[in-house]
A and B are shown apart, each in its own frame.
Chain A
Amino acid sequence: MLPLDELYQEVILDHYKNPKNQGTIENPDYKGHGVNPLCGDDVEIWIKLENGKIKSLKSIGKGCAVSQASLSMMGEALQGKSIEEARQAVEKFKKGMLEGGELHFEEYPDLEALEGVKKFPVRIKCAVLPWNTFLEALESHPSA
């Protein structure tokens, strides 16, 4: 496959055009806001827990196909996980993007489509932004 075709795979363009889990949550347990000041990618997420697991992760984002597809997929991948499991998944994803690890997730295979991003070093930060925003959200205490 040509690098461009790998980058803009159908899965990615589908998530970009029809993002999952759009919206906000009132009284979230965590929320986060991440921006990439250089390119203007902008990601906001809200997290609601139930019985220690992520019941719902909603988001609103603006930006390129890579950042927005990554955001949409992240929501799908992390829902249902405990905070600790989610944290591990985020670390695995970041390792995959930044340190050449695999992007193979049994629970959400779509993520593998982001492998193509690695051939475009300047775009890696787009893919990672939502995941960093998730980690930042865990540090927040909106209800406190």
Chain B
Amino acid sequence: MMTDIHSGNIPAASDIPETSRVPASDGAKIFKKTRDDFPILKRKIYGKPLIYLDNAATSQKPFSVIQAIQTYYENSNANIHRGVHHLAEEATSAYEAVRKKTAAFIHAKDHHSILFTRNCTEAINLAAFSWGRKFLKPGDEILLTEMEHHSNLIPWHFLKNEKGIELKFIPFNEEGILNLSKLPELLSSRTKLVSLTHISNSLGTINPIKQIIEAAHEKGALVLIDGAQSVPHLPVDVQDLNCDFLAFSSHKMLGPTGVGILYGKLELLEAMDPFMGGGEMIREVWLDHSTYSKPPWKYEAGTPNIADTIGFGAALDYLNQTGMKEIQKQEEELTRFALQRFSAEKEIKVYGPQNFKIHAGIISFNLEGIHPHDVGTILDQEGIAIRAGHHCTQPLMRKLGVSGTARASFYFYNTKEEVELLLQSIQKVFQIFHHAAAR
């Protein structure tokens, strides 16, 4: 039976799968447990077992995350930072504990560096608005790449129109790898910010961000990393990387929707202007002016998404228990396997790097003469969920010369069997379309 959080039908604690209970030596058993932790993975779609390969869009949620949200509403619901009563204190400390957990997860020195937003998009917009509007002047430059998600593009378009700054772009080659030999000519003293994605959501490319961060810092530019596709899948250490900002979303890393994270170096967060005005972000208010509180609260106006932030805390616990290194290793193996199997098929065009070491678990592909939408519809009938389209990267698709791609994206709960089933179902797509061609 499916667990329905709305029915009040909560399994007893002993029924709750807990990865940590399983002896670490038994790989297969752990894996079975892992799959069992995700209620939705038991679902059937058109009578077939769900094969969920759209993790780059959003991940599925383990039971512990779903339960944390329910438990919060059942036991601790109150508004935070404002009440003197017991519940308010409990909710506040639960919420603030997640901030600390998030800081630890990305190895931030200080948890005041962690701002909660609605999603990764809002995190990038916050940086553009609060830092960009305050510090950018006409003629300043921002360096992006040709593979950015629209959310790391449009906020900078706004600033370009408003501030008269210029945008430059690091190009990528046929394999979807950034051409860093262009970096010396693209970076100059006019460059104030380099903003780029760690992992391309459309190509799977893992960018050499550490090298780019060093090069940018040498020219005095700050660096924002869009970690939407990397933080969920591999260990990210902001101190080691020395990035100035890092943005990501809870919902792509087992957590609920409605929670995004912006990490920023504390001195920057202190210098920047607030994002939105209202409750929570103020120190003192008069009728005609106000002073602001310190980061992070300066950037969190109004009642935040308390319940889902607490759910995100449970997601971090789950990821920590599984281990980010372990997750990275499993996905690397799955990607290696998938890349090998896909490239063996002559009629499938796979985008992105061929080397699995710099190709995350995102397989973007096209089938000769068949539109990705049709591929998506046919695979869906087999219970396979993939994404078809431009994946919010229209400039990238234009450069590839396609209107879109089909995209299968993995998480650690996916299996080689699922990749095999995907390939088998791709053969069905060919059958349907080639059958017509053959007549």
Contact = CB atoms under 8 A, between A and B. Distances in A.
Nearest to A42: B403
A17 B434 CA distance: 10
Interface string A123-138: 1001000000000000
A64 B374 contact: yes
B381 interface: yes
B438 to A, nearest CB: 11
B330 interface: no
Contacts of A10: 436, 439
A70 B435 CA distance: 20
Interface string A59-94: 000111110100000000000000000000000000
B436 A14 contact: yes
Interface in B367-401: 369-374, 377-378, 381, 388-390, 397
B378 to A, nearest CB: 6
Nearest to A10: B436
A16 B369 CA distance: 10
Main secondary structure of the interface of A (DSSP, over half): helix
A8 B432 contact: yes
A17 B388 contact: no
Interface residues of A, number: 24
A68 B369 CA distance: 13
B377 A7 contact: yes
A103 B66 CA distance: 45
B374 A65 contact: yes
A40 B374 contact: no
Contacts of A41: 373, 403
Contacts of A64: 371-374
Contacts of A39: 373, 388-389, 404
Contacts of A3: 381
A106 B236 CA distance: 63
A66 B376 CA distance: 13
Contacts of B73: none
Given A8-B432, A13-B436, A123 B390 contact: no
A98 interface: no
A123 B374 CA distance: 9
A27 B113 CA distance: 61
A41 B370 CA distance: 13
Given A39-B404, A40-B389, A4 B432 contact: yes
5 contacts: A17-B436, A39-B373, A40-B397, A64-B374, A66-B374
Interface of B: 369-374, 377-378, 381, 388-390, 397, 403-404, 432-433, 435-437, 439
